[in-house]
Amino acid sequence: MSEEVVPVYAEGIHVFDLTGNVWLVLIFEYRDPKMYYYNLLKTNMEALFEELETIMNNMQKFLDEEIIKINNERARPQVKDIILGFRGSYHRPYIEFYINFRGPIKPGINRYDNFYEEETAEYDYEILWIFPEGVRVRSYHIAGDGRVLGTTDNILVVHVKKGTKVGRHEWIEFEVPEEILRGVNKS
């Protein structure tokens, strides 16, 4: 990535299902005054693909350093794909990662833990956790300004401002009613 390409915003969307499968979509938006990515796209597709592969591999290394657990069982996130796009202008590229992991889900209180190195947020970002209808977010510990939404309190959204200390240990406790899991286990 060119040094002139500067990150300006990020968004992470976690979608949980009742089998313990989690899809995470990470979107990083950049300011690119010299249109580095657009120029690669127009002039050197091979170099662009190599760059995206390097970025994808770097993201996987970063994920390998984190410890993510669901109900005390380690989950191993895998980057499945990456795309490059533009937001209204070739000066505003974004890179989107599709990441998948899984862990065991049980009736009652479940816990998602994420351990990673403490750092200071270099730009604003938002994190969203979407649990199935009927699942309830009970409590959480995540840096930033968070709130629980949804008709059954099944959505957690956290806004993190640039300069916020983040990391070390973040967690979410969520409750899964037994009757919801019974329907999943019959399928």
Surface-to-core class of residue 29, CB atoms within 10 Å of its CB (0-12 exposed, 13-18 middle, 19+ buried): buried
83-110 pLDDT, tens digit per residue, is 999 999 999 999 999 999 999 999 999 9
Q: Domain locations in the chain?
A: 6-186
pTM given for the model: 0.92
156-176 pLDDT, tens digit per residue, is 999 999 999 998 999 999 999
What is the spatial distance between Cα 23 and Cα 77, in angstroms, rounded to a whole number?
9
E strand map for 51-164: 67-70, 73-75, 78-86, 93-102, 108-120, 124-130, 136-141, 145-149, 155-160
Residue 187 predicted with pLDDT over 60: no
Bridge partners for 178 per DSSP: none
Over residues 60-68, the mean pLDDT reads 97
What is the spatial distance between Cα 39 and Cα 112, in angstroms, rounded to a whole number?
41
140, 142, 143, 144: CA torsion to nearest 10: -60
